[in-house]
Structure 1
């Protein structure tokens, strides 16, 4: 697939005055967090006709992605050269993919900007049972680098409207469909992946116009839940800062060294969060059911497994 033609330039940290540029991102996986997007990224990364940058979620078109407090995302329109540089190793004809899965939720900025600068882009949307996704998202944040600002219990966290709103897919998808035709979207549902992963991946290959030669990656071993030790989040933030500011090679060398391995080994440990209480599940189901039914009508797809 030939790269599309974009007309972007950076003058003030974001798209500014116009000139011809042979760079474009062809496909965005815009959602959603905690729905196997990392698993999908690993599969697509191993495909010879697809290019996925090392930074899984550039979030170039995402203004903020912290559910618990408003803070600026440092990579939001941070510089066109930086964003384009993520794809500098892509070969001619490879499908360039951006896995910024927060884009679906932070829809207004993201959809508008992508429509403006990549009007011919296509989109993958991976959707999980919204009840299970909400619970998983909470525990992932609780155990990880947001522990200091995450409520102590899931029930308390439900008072944070963003945590639940992130699982109301209908309104998010509807906004994106205001900018792009539905034919440009490939929806992957958790129950389809559970029932027949090969069939879902065959559909994806047709959507992307690539050969169906995806590698096999266990869904159980990608992006699990880890409890971070206090020193680990600052290390991750420093590494992220270094990669964004010209020290990527140094950060990568350290990460692959014995020191980096020790930091990873002792900085986090696998964490098994408790099962959701039945009363809490029923309450969430009641809150989310109208959205599930609206999404069914919008996509013309039976979402019965999410109603059980």
Structure 2
């Protein structure tokens, strides 16, 4: 068992939605009971027999073998392992406006019980919040190891504006026949951000889930992630005022992102024009003052 395609992320760019769609197709060979195995970055010491066991038996209807692994994009050691073990693999980046992605990542940490520090301090404590969005830098690492033809890109924006068109692009990249998803998959909102009602409980839940995954108890993690359980821990999604405040706070990182955009445009022919609008600092400041 060796994956022919790996979705390398980054985090908060629709990879859980992609995993959900692929599982519902029925003709894609994926790890059982989990989205991400963390094999190439955290579990490599367990060996290929362990990794293969996570997939179970391959059925005749399975056309391709895939892993959705959004933690891999910015991991040099994992990229080297993938290139050495799977020299013919195609890796797929799912790119999202890096500021929007970073803000979603901020709420991911908040949901895990982190204090509401503000953008700068959260980025200092969790550098991946920004580094995950330096797409050219990260993708170029994969290109150097695998070659440009084996690095494909999808635009998260298409998932929001034309979900069915996005599905068609996924099918094209994976060389699969188009299969229309059911409406409950097509319009599903998965891994929504949430501001925890009980921060200490959320932090304990995040740590417990991590330990359970590392112990192979994915079924238990899936059980406690059911909507009823999640509603006990998490409140409503953050309001637009908080998002705009964070967007204003993130403005100091725009120059770093813009430099990355230029290379992404030139070398990958990826249109970043819709990402280049900086926040209106006057409006954002007023909104932040009332937050």
* Map of 2:138 onto structure 1: 172
2:34 to 50, 55, 59: 55
* Map of 2:48 onto structure 1: 80
**Equivalenced residues, count:** 267
TM-score, reference length from structure 2: 0.80
For residues 267-306 of structure 1, what are the structure 2 equivalents within 5 Å? 267-273=233-239, 274-277=242-245, 279-306=248-275
The alignment status of 1:140 with 2:119, answered yes or no, reads: no
Which residues of structure 1 form unaligned runs of 5+? 1-22, 63-72
Which range moves more in the overlay, 289-298 or 185-194? 185-194
* Map of 2:162 onto structure 1: 196
1:234 Cα offset (Å) = 3.5
The question of whether the paired residues in 1 share the 8 Å contact of 2:119 and 2:250 is answered with no
1:187 is paired with a residue whose SS is strand
The whole-number CA distance in structure 2 between the counterparts of 1:184 and 1:137 is 27
1:198 Cα offset (Å) = 2.4
Query: What are the Cα deviations for residues 209-248 of structure 1, in whole angstroms up to 9, with x where unaligned?
Result: 2221141424561110123433354455445544554656
Which residues of structure 2 form unaligned runs of 5+? 278-291
2:117 to 148, 152, 166: 152
The question of whether the paired residues in 2 share the 8 Å contact of 1:87 and 1:96 is answered with no
* Map of 2:22 onto structure 1: 44
1:213 is paired with a residue whose SS is coil
Change (3 A) 1:88 1:293: same
* Map of 1:211 onto structure 2: 177
The whole-number CA distance in structure 2 between the counterparts of 1:109 and 1:131 is 26
Change (3 A) 1:215 1:89: farther
* Map of 2:289 onto structure 1: none
2:121 is paired with a residue whose SS is helix
The question of whether the paired residues in 2 share the 8 Å contact of 1:226 and 1:268 is answered with yes
Query: What are the Cα deviations for residues 166-222 of structure 1, in whole angstroms up to 9, with x where unaligned?
Result: 211111000000111222233111233334332332232122122211414245611
* Map of 1:34 onto structure 2: 12
The whole-number CA distance in structure 1 between the counterparts of 2:9 and 2:253 is 20
The whole-number CA distance in structure 2 between the counterparts of 1:247 and 1:41 is 19
Query: What are the Cα deviations for residues 243-270 of structure 1, in whole angstroms up to 9, with x where unaligned?
Result: 5546566x37x9389xx77644423333
